[in-house]
Structure 1
Amino acid sequence: MSAQVAPARRRGLADEVADRIRDAIFDGVYAPGSPLREVELAEALGVSRGPVREALLKLDREGLVRSEWHRGTTVTSLSEVDVAELDSLRAALEQLAVGLVVDRAPGLEEVDAAVTRMERAADEHEMVRCDLEFHDAIYRAAGHRRLGEAWQAIRSQVHLFLLTRIGVETDGYLAGIPAEHRQLADALRARDREAALELFATHRKHAFDILAGRPAPGLSGG
């Protein structure tokens, strides 16, 4: 008897609903800790509860929301452990990516374009999106498919990390971030591995320190 393959299910609507909810979280409509109720979301999006339920499961797998039987679904609030784990994992991935970019010396047009968009960002939420696009461009430039996939697996949580960071402090953020990222891009272009790794580590550390309650002067972090 031959094996049977289960019929495919159309998931397009659930994916679209997930995109809408994700964008709302990233735009600050739903802050960390906010409840996400199926009925209200279904009404707001003009869909049934089924696609909303599937969408929330997808976002749960991304780590963007958390579902608990006694609390329902809420936007993830990062604990101290979450922050520390994300920071250390991001550091490990980024060190490999930076090293590969320095070794490969690819064109950095996408990286430069992301910095230019940062310079035009109208608010903190747009700046966070540009920040993530900058790092997307670095992972593409690294030319390592599995490394890129590992980055994509934590990207939504890093986005939440940065949203939490601007929720704690925004002083100097819009003014400082573009210049810092331009400096990072210049270090990659100079193929100075040690300087690039140090700059990226310092950049990450400030964002971590803000969330840990130990702000350092003179840097914006992202």
Structure 2
Amino acid sequence: MNATPLRPAARRGLADEAADRVREAIFGGHFPPGSPLREVDLAASLGISRGSVREGLALLEREGLVRSGWHRPTTVVEVTATDVEEVYTVRAALDRLAALTARAKAAPGDLADLDGLLTAMADEVGAGADGPRLLALDIAFHDRIYAAAGNRRLTEAWQAVRSQVFLFQLQRITLGHEHYQSRVVAEHRELAALLRDGDPGELARVAEDHVDSARRSLLTGLG
């Protein structure tokens, strides 16, 4: 019996690289919400083909970072009140479960990593860090909680909304950087303390309040 013929595997890599570079630029604040992302310009900047850029943008669209349409330019998504309500409602449920699971399963190394991120956050605040750098540490802190929880499907659910959370939080900072900067270290320090030896009920409440505070702040900024 002859083997089923298979088409040669397509080489991949440049599309993922394009997605990574454009995502970094979005998260760095270089492409604010609503900004057009022109294939020809991106291809020239990255030194790759428009086809690879197009595939990379399709990956970012699946992450919820960019939006495209027939005969319409691809743009970074604009943050709406509806988007905020939907994403932060999902995030609150995920963060609550991640925190409670990590509370039960975190290893000493996980807690040490969180302490290290807290120190880095405090250092950045003290140095007057810009929003994107501080936010990257914020998101890394939550990544560490999900990793400590050790639940693959829970982590995958977080990854499905992570890019949108980053973009929405970046918009929150743009609209009210001082408010974010004044709260970020204290809020995460409280979470770290409760993850170490706090009451689970209090941890669940604080994890949800942390997300709800961000939601309210962003909605206020959006007007």
Query: What CA distance in whole angstroms lies between the structure 2 residues aligned with 1:175 and 1:92?
Result: 25
* Sequence identity percentage: 49
Does 2:125 align with 1:92?
no
Is residue 103–residue 191 contact of structure 1 (8 Å, CA) maintained in 2?
no
Match of 2:21 in 1: 20
TM-score by length of 1: 0.91
The code of the aligned residue for 2:116 comes to A
The code of the aligned residue for 1:169 comes to G
Match of 2:116 in 1: 113
TM-score by length of 2: 0.91
Query: Relative to structure 1, is the Cα distance of residues 157 and 35 closer, same or farther in structure 2, using a 3 angstrom cutoff?
Result: same
Q: Secondary structure at the match of 2:177?
A: coil
**5+ residue gaps in structure 2?**
none
**5+ residue gaps in structure 1?**
216-222
Q: Deviations over 1:40-94 (max 9, x none)?
A: 1111112221111111011111111011123210001122221111111111111
Match of 1:176 in 2: 183
| Structure number with higher helix proportion | 2
Aligned-residue Cα RMSD (Å) equals 1.7
Is residue 105–residue 191 contact of structure 1 (8 Å, CA) maintained in 2?
no
Q: Secondary structure at the match of 1:28?
A: coil
Query: What CA distance in whole angstroms lies between the structure 2 residues aligned with 1:4 and 1:135?
Result: 45
Is residue 184–residue 199 contact of structure 1 (8 Å, CA) maintained in 2?
yes
Is residue 123–residue 174 contact of structure 1 (8 Å, CA) maintained in 2?
no
Query: Relative to structure 1, is the Cα distance of residues 40 and 157 closer, same or farther in structure 2, using a 3 angstrom cutoff?
Result: same
Q: Deviations over 1:186-211 (max 9, x none)?
A: 01112311111121222111111122
Q: How many residues of Structure 1 are paired with residues of Structure 2 in the alignment? A: 215
Match of 1:195 in 2: 202
Name the structure, 1 or 2, with higher relative contact order (CA <8 Å, separation 6+).
2
